[in-house]
């Protein structure tokens, strides 16, 4: 086995258990609940510790030794908890002392200020993509290992080494992104691998930069090409008389505002408006001419009044069913949107948001 002259300064070692308890493996997720809950709380605290670490680096160019040690111990215990839950060890996690799962990192005397957070996240993007696929493989390895432990009492050594390697790779990247080291992680499962070479770092930087630029470009394009709201003027008096407005085409959906009932207290006898309030209901007809379902939610509608207040629906009924409801393709449905507003207020606008894939908003302005 080839050992790197300078092994990577972040390590994870997990001793292979020759035998594991079958009944403990069967109940592993149940047995691991206390340590996993504790690990989740530690994970919540880790965000604050990470921010404190970054601030210290920006101010001092280094991490205080006690803060570095605390961060390492935090990750070490989390590695113990998740290794136990994933059947990598049969020993229940200890809060301290010797344990068959060991995470460690070499203290860096200096850490680059300008690389903190953004640059490291960009350069680590290729790692993140590869890890997504590796964790899929690790998941199936753990499932196979679980059955193997139940049948033979042993986790297959090759699969055990693979899962440990994925965890090691993940923790190296995590430590790099947290700035516990400036050494670029290797694309390797091996515990003996050294830091990635300059060529790998440059290529990863280029790929990460392109991915980040593409993501920013998508956001910018979405903001630029996002159409404004389609506004239509409708007589509120005509709506109350049942003389609805025109049919509006939103992509492959037809939407018609048919009627307004104001007040609508008697139309919904099972609901009672609060004191000083009244119900206003709007009837819409929707036809879905798309090749997939049209999902209608409460959040698709909003009402504004002349007092400048916005109102979310109290109730949305689609084809006789309470939203959320799916309208099948090439089908129509009657929608009732019920709002509670002040007694003295007058509706001025009804908003309808089309499905996110169509990215449009329709506003009926009442005159």
Give CA–CA dist 352/254, Å, rounded. Answer: 12
Backbone phi, psi, residue 222, to 5°: -60, -40
Q: With CA atoms as reference, report the closest residue to 263 among 343, 348, 363, 366.
A: 343
* pLDDT at residue 289, rounded to an integer: 84
What domains lie within the chain, and their CATH numbers?
A: 10-220 (no CATH), 230-366 (2.60.40.1240)
Instruction: Return the percentage of the chain with pLDDT > 90, whole number.
Output: 68
- pLDDT (average), residues 339-359: 84
Angle at 147 between CA 144 and CA 151, to 5 degrees: 135
Reported as a single tens digit per residue, the pLDDT across 204-236 is: 999 999 999 998 888 777 655 555 678 889 999
Whether the predicted pLDDT of 151 surpasses 90? yes
Predicted TM-score (pTM) of the model is 0.65
Positive/negative CA dihedral, 289, 292, 296, 301: negative
Give CA–CA dist 255/249, Å, rounded. Answer: 6
Q: With CA atoms as reference, report the closest residue to 108 among 69, 74, 78, 79.
A: 69
* pLDDT at residue 2, rounded to an integer: 47
Q: Output Rg (C-alpha) for the chain, integer angstroms.
A: 29
């Amino acid at each position: 086995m080839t050992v790197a002259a300078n092994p990577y300064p972040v390590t994870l070692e997990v001793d292979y258990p020759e035998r594991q308890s079958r009944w403990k493996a069967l109940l592993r997720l149940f047995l691991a609940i206390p340590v996993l809950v504790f690990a989740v709380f530690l994970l919540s605290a880790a965000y604050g510790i990470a921010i404190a670490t970054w601030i210290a680096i920006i101010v001092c160019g280094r991490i205080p030794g006690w803060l570095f040690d605390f961060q390492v111990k935090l990750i070490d215990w989390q590695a113990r908890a998740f290794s136990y839950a994933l059947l990598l060890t049969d020993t229940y996690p200890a809060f301290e002392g010797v344990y068959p799962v060991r995470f460690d990192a070499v203290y860096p005397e200096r850490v680059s200020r300008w690389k903190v957070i953004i640059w490291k996240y960009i350069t680590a993007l290729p790692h993140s993509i590869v890890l997504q696929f590796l964790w899929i493989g690790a998941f199936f390895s753990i499932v196979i290992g679980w059955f193997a432990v139940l049948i033979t009492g042993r986790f297959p050594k090759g699969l055990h080494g693979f899962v440990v390697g994925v965890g090691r790779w993940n923790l190296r990247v995590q430590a790099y992104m947290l700035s516990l080291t400036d050494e670029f992680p290797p694309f390797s499962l091996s515990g003996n691998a050294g830091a990635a070479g300059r060529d790998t770092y440059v290529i990863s930087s280029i790929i990460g930069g392109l991915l980040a630029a593409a993501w920013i470009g998508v956001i910018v394009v979405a903001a630029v090409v996002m159409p404004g709201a389609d506004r239509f003027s409708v007589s509120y008096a005509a709506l109350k008389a049942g003389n609805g407005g025109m049919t509006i085409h939103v992509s492959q959906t037809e939407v018609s505002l048919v009627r307004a009932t104001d007040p609508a207290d008697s139309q919904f006898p099972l609901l009672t408006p609060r004191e000083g309030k009244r119900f206003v209901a709007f009837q819409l007809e929707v036809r879905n001419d798309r090749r997939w379902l049209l999902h209608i939610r409460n959040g698709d509608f909003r009402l504004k009044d002349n007092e400048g207040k916005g109102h979310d629906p109290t109730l949305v009924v689609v084809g006789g069913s309470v939203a959320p409801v799916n309208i099948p393709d090439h089908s129509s449905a009657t929608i009732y949107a019920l709002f509670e507003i002040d007694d003295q207020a007058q509706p001025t606008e009804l908003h309808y948001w089309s499905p996110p894939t169509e990215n449009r908003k329709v506003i009926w302005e009442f005159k």
